[in-house]
Amino acid sequence: MELRVSYNRYLMAKALTSSLLGMDQGELSAIISEAGEPAYRAKQIMDAVYRQRVETLEEVSTLPQQFRERLAQSGVTVGAARIEKKFVSVDGTVRYLIGFADGQSVETVWMPEGDGGEAGDGSEAGEEAESSGIGTSGAKAQFRETGLNAGLEGLPRPDQHHPDQEHPTQNRNRQNQGRPGGSTICISSQVGCAVDCQFCLTALLGVKRNLTAGEIVGQVCAVLKDQVVSPPEDRINLVFMGMGEPFLNYENFIKASRLLVEGVGIAERRMTVSTAGIVPRIHDFGREAIRPKLAISLNAPNDTLRTRLMPLNKKWNLEMLMTAAREFPLRTREWITFEYVLLGGVNDRAENAKEVAELLRGLRCKVNLIALNPGPGIDFTTPGAEQVGVFQQILRDAGIPAFVRRPRGRDIYAACGQLKRTVEVATSPELQIQSISPATGG
197 is catalytic: no
251 is catalytic: no
Q: Which is nearer to ligand SAH, 28 or 378 (CB)?
A: 378
Query: Does the footprint of ligand SAH cover residue 93 (CB under 6 A)?
Result: no
Query: Does the footprint of ligand SAH cover residue 213 (CB under 6 A)?
Result: no
Query: Does the footprint of ligand SAH cover residue 339 (CB under 6 A)?
Result: yes
The least distance separating ligand SAH from the CB of residue 355, rounded to whole angstroms, comes to 17
Q: Which is nearer to ligand SAH, 336 or 378 (CB)?
A: 378
Beta bridge partners, 209, equal 191
Alpha-carbon distance 104 to 100, whole Å?
6
Residue 283 and residue 173 in contact, taking contact as beta carbons nearer than 8 Å: no
Residue 416 and residue 341 in contact, taking contact as beta carbons nearer than 8 Å: yes
Residue whose beta carbon is closest to ligand SAH: 417
Half-sphere exposure of 434 (CA within 13 A, CB side): 4
User: Cα dist. 312→40, 305, 319, 418 in Å?
Assistant: 47, 12, 13, 20
The least distance separating ligand SAH from the CB of residue 242, rounded to whole angstroms, comes to 7
**In the structure, how many helices (H) and strands (E) does the chain have?**
13, 12
Alpha-carbon distance 120 to 124, whole Å?
10
Q: Which is nearer to ligand SAH, 218 or 277 (CB)?
A: 277
User: Cα dist. 110→94, 129, 218, 357 in Å?
Assistant: 5, 17, 14, 32
Amino acid type, 358? E
Query: Does the footprint of ligand SAH cover residue 200 (CB under 6 A)?
Result: yes
Q: Which is nearer to ligand SAH, 229 or 238 (CB)?
A: 238
Query: Does the footprint of ligand SAH cover residue 309 (CB under 6 A)?
Result: no
Query: Does the footprint of ligand SAH cover residue 115 (CB under 6 A)?
Result: no
Catalytic-role residue among 55, 107, 113, 127 = 107
Q: Which is nearer to ligand SAH, 211 or 241 (CB)?
A: 241
The least distance separating ligand SAH from the CB of residue 375, rounded to whole angstroms, comes to 6
Q: Which is nearer to ligand SAH, 50 or 338 (CB)?
A: 338
Catalytic-role residue among 193, 200, 221, 416 = 416
Stretch that binds ligand SAH, among 134-142, 195-203, 205-213, 322-330 (CB under 6 A): 195-203
Stretch that binds ligand SAH, among 58-66, 129-137, 280-288, 370-378 (CB under 6 A): 370-378
Alpha-carbon distance 129 to 374, whole Å?
27
Beta bridge partners, 337, equal 295, 366
Largest CA distance in the chain: 69
Query: Does the footprint of ligand SAH cover residue 416 (CB under 6 A)?
Result: yes
Q: Residue length, the chain?
A: 442
Stretch that binds ligand SAH, among 129-137, 175-183, 197-205, 312-320 (CB under 6 A): 197-205
Q: What is the DSSP string of 120-159?
A: TSSSHHHHHHHHTTSS-SHHHHHHHHHHHHSSGGGSPPTT
User: Cα dist. 199→3, 195, 242, 342, 384 in Å?
Assistant: 50, 11, 15, 10, 17
> According to CB under 6 A, which one of 126, 181, 417, 441 is a site residue for ligand SAH?
417
Q: Which is nearer to ligand SAH, 146 or 275 (CB)?
A: 275
What residues numbered 223-282 form the site for ligand SAH, per CB under 6 A?
Answer: 241, 245, 274-276
Other Cβ atoms closer than 10 A to 19: 20
**Residues taking part in catalysis:** 107, 416
Binding site for ligand SAH (CB under 6 A): 195, 197, 199-200, 241, 245, 274-276, 297, 299, 339, 341, 370, 372-373, 378, 416-417
